[in-house]
């Protein structure tokens, strides 16, 4: 497994080694000891989530407030997504910036999104299956979001607006300027 820091250092691409032959392939998708050695801190993934999306489905931008803030390790089992992480940490030098990475079922790359980031993705293929680990349980009362097309953020979702399929919940999210940011510097 190779770990690659993105333009926001804390957001990390995890690139596994794929062993394939005529029978298929084998890949080690997660190895806690190596990942923690690279990050320099402990993780406690406690919940796995999975979603299936058709082409153009956009989910996000989602996050949870303290004490239910989550780190995520996102991977695509089948299909392709554009995965996006937005820094919402008060006092961070990259506050308001984002990272976009294509993840797909072929290269098996994963994206680690630490606590303090809003997260979303758009499906770039039919029947996309996304799985991700989180290090804190989901809590409905702490669930928050930011509108996907906020002009301040300037995220290029790679698809035209009329091709996107967005839930009522996500269409009604607030702007970045009205979001409840996360103050994790004191933790």
H-helix or E-strand containing 168? helix 168-171
Given 132, 137, 138, 140, the catalytic residue: 132
- DSSP code of residue 19: E
Greatest alpha-carbon pair distance for the chain in Å reads 53
Number of Cβ atoms within 10 Å of the Cβ of 84? 25
Given 62, 63, 138, 140, the catalytic residue: 62
Tokens of residue 88, six digits: 């919402």
Q: What is the DSSP string of 25-64?
A: EEE----HHHHHHHHTS-----EEEEEEE-TTEEEEEEEE
Specify whether 98 is catalytic.
no
| CA atoms of 147 and 19, how far apart (whole Å) | 40
Specify whether 62 is catalytic.
yes
CA angle (74 as vertex; 65, 161 as ends), nearest 5: 80
Catalytic residues: 62, 132
């Amino acid at each position: 497994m190779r770990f690659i820091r993105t333009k926001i250092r804390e957001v990390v691409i995890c690139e596994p080694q794929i062993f394939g032959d005529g029978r298929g392939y084998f890949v080690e998708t997660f190895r806690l000891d190596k990942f923690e050695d690279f990050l320099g801190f402990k993780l406690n993934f406690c919940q796995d989530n999975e979603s299936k999306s058709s082409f153009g489905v956009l989910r996000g931008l989602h996050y949870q407030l303290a004490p239910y803030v989550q780190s995520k390790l996102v991977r695509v089992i089948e299909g392709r997504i554009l995965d996006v992480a937005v820094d919402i940490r008060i006092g961070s030098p990259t506050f308001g910036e984002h990272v976009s990475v294509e993840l797909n079922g072929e290269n098996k790359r994963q994206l680690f999104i630490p606590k303090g980031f809003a997260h979303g993705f758009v499906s770039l293929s039919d029947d996309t299956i996304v799985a991700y680990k989180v290090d804190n349980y989901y809590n409905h009362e702490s669930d928050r979001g930011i509108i996907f097309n906020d002009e301040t953020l300037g995220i290029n979702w790679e698809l035209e607006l009329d091709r996107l399929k967005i839930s009522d919940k996500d269409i009604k999210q607030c702007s970045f300027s009205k979001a409840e940011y996360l103050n994790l510097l004191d933790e």
